[in-house]
Chain A
């Protein structure tokens, strides 16, 4: 798994790409290893031969224009893509060297949490929203459950705002609070990885800043992947960045390098605004 970036679509440049990433990308402990991943919606191929490794306990951003496959890629990592009918996936994804496609789905999704683009709290109380994952997975009852809910809300930096209204409907919260509630709900089951699918696209700048701050603190215990439309956000929060275009991973590198000295013309065009 030396090749972190896959450029097989341009075979003449493939070796150069590997050399360059090998040189510039410092080695890391991978959480996910993805190799030769293809993904199809019916007859349409949405991902083309994606290979990369996701560094553990870092924040990895996936950027690219709309429809480039970055969300699709994210959703294959917890196999949420399988909820859509007529989809097909090829290739290998290893989570801590374990093949996710032979893993129990419930176990996988417990280990790999997800937060969605639109805040999607259940129409239940704030408490029940956070407790949902714990109840589904069993184990926590009574005081232990209450403690776990409080811990998750604290980790999501929401506790102080909601501690007096845990019995209130989650839908009464503001958009930014709802999104942090969704993060708390995801954190409650102690996931090793947190997948964030454009978590701030429906939020105002203040709420966005809160979530970005939150990501830095979460990174200590969690590997974070974030899909974002905002290159500024990717540059602000991530340690590593992958650039997707038309279903292909064009470039993957440390964020500083990718934004300052992109290796590929397409990347440079995109981040300088000459594309999309």
Chain B
């Protein structure tokens, strides 16, 4: 932008035009108009973010005043006596997202490696189409999938199996309901795999062919070239896809509330029912009668927003740290 306008100004000056003339000339050429319009669009994003934070902050005054930081570490959730705490919801959000990432990252990245590096072109394109279709499925459908397939499967087969063989871990102890952290994590995993897969595939395909050839030319096998050269080259983009998926998992509402059990409790067992921030806001917003109740839900929203910002910040730092050493970017 600056170089372009600079040359225009210089070209116009010898003829002795004033600044206004120059501006009008540029206005006519559409440059200034395009600048202004796109600037307004960009400012909108900023404005919306500011309004969001402002609203969340203003309307969570009561719990912030009454509970302070204690709100974040309290396990209470008692609308009758108006004792509210965010911890079970933060816990549920983090645990389900962690389970989702644990399952979805190997699946998504592995699938992306296959589609980008090993699959024949037709199969790769066909499967990618299906994957991108999955990314567009509404979350309530995934919730139904969870209720009708994932939960019965967990309750009848997977959970008993895990309890039998890994029951010595607190993670897999206690009664089996079907609904719970594991079910929510699994449904979230299914939902975010398409994101990780399709973005990682694009990133892997963008790795220059010369990199692969350089590895092959010194006697690397196809897999060595992929794993030691192509994947590290694409590392920043793959991490980016993972964090985008994480953001989706943290904020997912519908599918989670359908399978998590909606019980505000903290339990070491993944079989136990729990609750997530997004789910409790959606479920209880319409029935939140008192101001303290309503504002506590909004405070939860603020907590989720801050949680997302923190995790995204960590993600940026992680990407910077891993790509700083000898990478092209």
Q: A123-B232, A123-B328 are in contact. Are A83 and B216 (CB under 8 A)?
A: yes
B214 touches A122 (CB 8 A): yes
Q: Does B14 sit at the interface, judged by CB under 8 A?
A: no
27 A-B pairs whose Cβ atoms sit less than 8 Å apart in the complex: A78-B217, A80-B213, A83-B213, A85-B121, A106-B219, A106-B220, A106-B221, A109-B218, A110-B219, A114-B217, A115-B217, A116-B213, A122-B229, A123-B326, A125-B325, A132-B218, A133-B218, A133-B220, A136-B218, A137-B218, A137-B219, A169-B327, A171-B326, A171-B328, A185-B214, A186-B218, A189-B218
A125 & B326 in contact (Cβ 8 Å cutoff): yes
Given contacts A85-B121, A106-B221, A120-B208, contact A136 B215 (CB under 8 A): yes
With a CB–CB cut-off of 8 A, which chain B residues contact A78?
217
In the complex, the answer to whether B224 meets A136 with C-beta atoms within 8 Å is yes
Q: Which 3 A-B pairs have the closest CB atoms?
A: A133-B218, A169-B326, A120-B210
Q: Which residues of chain B are within 8 angstroms of A106 by Cβ–Cβ distance?
A: 219-221
Contact indicator B228/A118 (Cβ below 8 Å): no
Q: Mark A207-227, 1 if CB is under 8 A from B, else 0.
A: 000000000000000000000
Contact B219–A189 (Cβ < 8 Å): yes
Tell me whether A93 is interfacial, beta carbon within 8 Å: no
A123-B327, A171-B328 known; A109-B214 Cβ under 8 A: no
State whether the Cβ of A170 lies closer than 8 Å to any Cβ in chain B: yes
| Given pairs A122-B233, A185-B214, 9 additional interface contacts (CB within 8 A) | A83-B209, A105-B221, A120-B211, A122-B211, A122-B214, A125-B326, A132-B215, A136-B224, A186-B218
Q: How far is the CA of A83 from the CA of B327 in the complex (A)?
A: 25
Contact A85 B213 (CB under 8 A): no
Q: Would you call A199 an interface residue if the criterion is a C-beta within 8 Å of the partner chain's C-beta atoms?
A: no
Judge if A245 is at the interface, Cβ distance under 8 Å: no
Q: Tell whether B212 is near chain A: CB-to-CB under 8 Å.
A: yes
**What size tier do the contact residues of chain A reach?**
20 to 34
- Give the distance to chain A from B80, nearest Cβ to Cβ, in Å: 60
Q: How large is the interface on B (under 10, 10 to 19, 20 to 34, 35 or more residues)?
A: 20 to 34
Among A78, A120, A188, max chain B CB count under 10 A is at A120
CA distance A110 to B121 in the complex (A): 28
Nearest CB of chain B from residue A225's CB, rounded to whole Å: 13
Q: Which residue of A lies closest to B208 (CB)?
A: A120
Which residues of the other chain, B, contact A132 by a CB distance below 8 angstroms? 215, 218, 220, 228
Measured between alpha carbons, how far is A106 from B223 in the docked complex, in Å? Answer: 12
Q: Is the CB of B228 within 8 A of A136?
A: yes
Contacting pair B214 A110 (CB below 8 A): no
Are A109 and B326 neighbours in the complex by a CB distance under 8 Å?
no
Residues 273-307 of chain B: 1 if any A CB is under 8 Å from the residue's CB, otherwise 0? 00000000000000000000000000000000000
Considering the complex, which residues of chain A in the window 100-116 have a beta carbon less than 8 Å from any beta carbon of chain B?
105-107, 109-110, 113-116
B120 interfacial by beta-carbon distance below 8 Å? yes
How many angstroms from the CA of A106 to the CA of B225 in the assembled complex?
12
Q: Are B213 and A114 in contact (CB under 8 A)?
A: yes
B325: chain A residues within 8 A (beta carbon): 125, 169
Write out the residue numbers on chain B whose beta carbons fall within 8 Å of the beta carbon of A182.
214
Q: Nearest chain-A residue to B224 (Cβ)?
A: A136
A189 to B328, CA, bound (A): 25
Min CB distance B294 to A, Å, is 52
A83 to B226: give the CA distance in the assembly, Å: 13
Q: Tell me which residues across on chain B come within 8 A of A115, comparing CB atoms.
A: 217
B326 touches A120 (CB 8 A): no
Distance from B325 Cβ to chain A, minimum over Cβ atoms (Å): 7
A229 to B37, CA, bound (A): 49
Partner of B218, one of A125, A171, A188: A188
Interface positions of A from 121 to 143, Cβ below 8 Å from B = 121-125, 132-133, 136-137
Per the bound structure, the CA–CA distance linking A137 and B216 in Å amounts to 11
